[in-house]
Amino acid sequence: MPRPGLPAGARCLAGGFYVELKKQDIILICGLLAGSLLFGSALALGRTDGDTVVVRVSGEKVAEFSQNRNTVYCIEGAGSGVNALVIQDREVWLEDASCPDQLCVHQGHIRHVGESIICLPNEVVVAIEGKAEGSAAPDVVAS
């Protein structure tokens, strides 16, 4: 039973605000939720594993590795900065860094095209890239 003085259908929300939900409000909320789920699903399904790990220091490419190759690589960053890059089981992460905040170490593992780990103090960027557009085998051979 609604409180005295409130219109029928009014609901009490946190903070003491009263809102009367209408059919159109519920339809709008459901539509926004459905749209969010579709958008999230499209993002999750569109992710592809990368092929190449590219390391850049101060914007210059210094190394490139196959994501299939398990390795540990020491990256000499800007100044006297050093980062330890690990590639294992197609996952890539920075195991250790000489930067004071260690944010790059705590970013976790990456493996999909477009993902990157950035160490600002050492000016190091580790990015996952896919195959080059022209390097893929042709889909159709014309005779």
CB atoms within 10 A of CB 41: 10
Domains of the chain, residue spans: 10-45, 52-132
CB 123 within 8 A of CB 57: yes
41/7: higher pLDDT = 41
As a whole number, mean pLDDT of residues 98-117 equals 92
Residue 106, pLDDT above cutoff 80:
yes
Question: Rounded to whole angstroms, how far apart are CA atoms 127 and 52?
Answer: 8
> How confident is the prediction for the chain on average, in pLDDT?
83
Question: Rounded to whole angstroms, how far apart are CA atoms 65 and 100?
Answer: 27
Residues with Cβ within 8 Å of 67's Cβ and at least 6 positions away in sequence, in order, are 49, 50, 51, 52, 53, 87, 90, 92, 111, 128
Residues with Cβ within 8 Å of 65's Cβ and at least 6 positions away in sequence, in order, are 52, 53, 55, 71, 73, 87
Residue 5, pLDDT above cutoff 80:
no
Provide the pLDDT confidence category of residue 47 given band limits of 50, 70 and 90. Answer: confident
> What architecture is the 52-132 domain classified under in CATH?
Sandwich (2.60)
Half-sphere exposure of 128 (CA within 13 A, CB side): 21
Residues with Cβ within 8 Å of 90's Cβ and at least 6 positions away in sequence, in order, are 49, 67, 68, 111
As a whole number, mean pLDDT of residues 58-62 equals 94
Question: Rounded to whole angstroms, how far apart are CA atoms 101 and 98?
Answer: 9
pTM: 0.63
